Chains A and B, each alone.
Chain A
Amino acid sequence: MTFLNEEIKKQLEEVFEPMKKEVIVALFATKEMCETCEDTKSFMAEMSGINEKIKLEVYDLKDDAELAETLQVKRAPAIVLLGEGRKDYGIQFNGLPGGHEINSFISGLLEVSGSGEKLPEVFAERVAKIDKPIDIKVFVTLGCPHCPGAVSKAHKLALENLNVRAEMIEAQTFSELSDQYNVSGVPKIVINGTEELVGDQPLEMFLDAIERL
């Protein structure tokens, strides 16, 4: 099955043009009970075919349990973006990043490859000060136009400060987890399991919530 038509492929070629360094797309699938694992594999294979700087590595959640643990992957399909020297920034996608979420995936690739936008100074200082482990979960649906904005902001924080991990979670694929966090509106942002934000909040709201912890 092919996912991307010629038109989108051409657009993506241009979009990936500014990529500076290689990015490893570490995809974790599983053989049992995974409706979207195969689709995610094919989709990622197509994406990596668009630019040679995108390197796909496919793993199995069980067979490669050790790596999964190192990268803190708990579900499948899950994607971790690794930078130069296999550096793990804690940037994850849980579930196929299709629909609107293709945009946060693209921005993740560009950021990890080193061609993202510089964080405005007013935020850079506050981000640098984060000195405890922060785990950000951003729940999304694929039909939500303002979800990628929230995901990208969380990922940017992870990229800038290694104490921060940030994962996108597609609420329908991981419905149990969404139920656990009472997700009935997206984007829903949960920080360290306690602080909650609903909506595509500006970066200062993320930082306020982190500083409250």
Chain B
Amino acid sequence: MEFNLQTKPKAPVVTPETIYDVLIVGGGPAGLNAALYAKRKGLSVGILAERLGGQVLDTSSVENYLGFPSETGEGLMKKFQAHVEELKVPVKEHLQITGIETGRIKKIHTNIGEVFQAKAVILATGSKPRMLNVPGEKEFLGRGVAYCAICDGPLFAGMDVIVAGGGNSAVEAAIDLAKIANHVALVHRSQFRADQILVDQLRKKENVSIHLNTQIQSVEGEGLVSHINALDKESEEVVKIPGNGLFVEIGYLPNSGVFEDLVKQNGRGEIGVNARCETSQAGIFAAGDVTDMPYKQIVISAGEGAKAALTANEYINTLKEEE
């Protein structure tokens, strides 16, 4: 029996009364590393987050973070958090940012009614799973359609499941599910994007079938998912792939909706940043999966978070010189 203890003895809390140098929105790798760097620069800093840890907590194993050849997502995140906790950075968790007012002092509005204040803000809200947008997907959400393999995998023990996608998360999900499910069908509209080392592991699994160049058209079933219809692009035929579960792992969409009017975003809703993590709005910086920086990875998000904090530090210093 494992115990995944997350609850921590009370850390200091971000308060609405204080005007911080920097407030960071988001507690994933980008937000946490930004906090580390900002604090070490001597800034007054706090983290506001819906759930500390971010997507890394939904990851079963991480094998590409330098210095940690093989860690669970949770294990790696515990180390990140412990490092930040040592510096006593105040945190306020379980809230959603609903908007930010610009100005010399930025006002951060939340769903819990409290408004927080800072001279600079770092947006590090990450991303959420992208949907297939095919008929049946919404209807069968929680009735076979799933977006978190480590959460919902056990509910499909001994059943047939389908994984949609061809990147690292899809291949990892398929490898993990193959241990629990009777059969796993991986379906992807083009060729693999995943690391070769993962694809090789997947190909070794006996209960996995791989359908590349196959486009999912609809999710079908009665009450619960029974199969998908997909277009085999080579034969141009529609094939029926049976499965009680469909795990959608086709990439991510930035959590940037609430910042639409605040900062410039590209067509995909990613916040535009320059090499210094500056956005189109003075005093608002952004880092990690929520930005238009290419490649969404833990090590990259963490690095970007550091950069955003260093740029924010310079911004705060110039403000102080002006005063």
Interface segment, one of B61-69, B143-151, B190-198 = B143-151
B143 to A120, Cβ gap below 8 A?
no
Query: Which B residues from 123 to 148 make CB contacts under 8 A with A?
Result: 141-146, 148
Q: How far is the CB of B101 from chain A (nearest CB, A)?
A: 18
A69 and B5 CA atoms in complex are apart in Å by 32
Decide: A15 and B113 in contact? CB cutoff 8 A: no
Residues in B whose Cβ lies below 8 Å from that of A98: 1-3
Residue from B8, B96, B143, B153 having most chain A Cβ neighbours under 10 A: B143
A62-103, CB < 8 A from B: 96, 98-100, 102-103
Q: Does A39 contact B (CB under 8 A)?
A: yes
**Residue in A3, A4, A11, A184 whose CB lies within 8 Å of B143:** A184
Instruction: Known A141-B151, A196-B142; judge A14-B9 contact (CB<8 A).
Output: yes
User: Is B224 in the interface zone, CB < 8 Å from A?
Assistant: yes
Distance, CA A96 to CA B3, complexed state (A):
11
Judge if A27 is at the interface, Cβ distance under 8 Å.
no
> A178: CB under 8 A from chain B?
yes
CB distance from A159 to the nearest CB of B (A): 15
Chain A residues whose CB sits within 8 angstroms of the CB of B57 once the complex forms: 145-146
A210 contacts the other chain (Cβ, under 8 Å)? no
Which residues of chain B are near A107, meaning CB under 8 Å? 7
Contact B150 A144 (CB under 8 A): yes
Q: In the complex, A202 Cα to B258 Cα: how many Å?
A: 16
In the assembled complex, B240 has its CB within 8 A of some CB on chain A: no
The answer to whether B113 touches A200 (Cβ under 8 A) is no
A18 with B143: CB separation less than 8 A: no
List, in ascending order, chain A residues with CB within 8 A of B148's CB: 144, 146
Distance between Cα atoms of A185 and B113 in the complex (Å): 30
Given the known A-B contacts A184-B245, A198-B142, are A103 and B53 also in contact in the complex, defined by CB atoms under 8 Å? Answer: no
B150–A120 touching, CB < 8 Å: no
Measured in the bound complex, the distance between the Cα atoms of B111 and A120 in whole Å is 9
CB-CB under 8 A from B1, the residues of chain A are 3, 39, 43, 96, 98-99
A interface residues with partner B (beta carbon < 8 Å): 3-4, 8, 11-12, 14-15, 17-18, 39, 43, 96, 98-100, 102-103, 106-107, 120-123, 141-149, 171-172, 178, 182-186, 188, 196, 198, 200, 202, 204
27 A-B contact pairs sorted by A residue (CB < 8 Å): A14-B9, A39-B1, A96-B1, A100-B4, A100-B6, A102-B5, A106-B5, A122-B111, A122-B112, A141-B151, A141-B152, A145-B6, A145-B57, A146-B57, A146-B58, A149-B51, A172-B155, A178-B155, A184-B152, A184-B224, A185-B141, A185-B144, A185-B146, A185-B151, A186-B152, A186-B155, A188-B142
Interface residues of B (CB under 8 A from A): 1-10, 51, 53, 57-58, 74, 94, 96, 111-114, 141-146, 148, 150-157, 223-225, 244-245
Query: A98-B2, A144-B150 provided; 13 other pairs, C-beta below 8 A?
Result: A4-B3, A17-B9, A102-B7, A106-B5, A120-B112, A122-B111, A123-B112, A144-B151, A184-B143, A184-B245, A185-B143, A185-B146, A204-B111
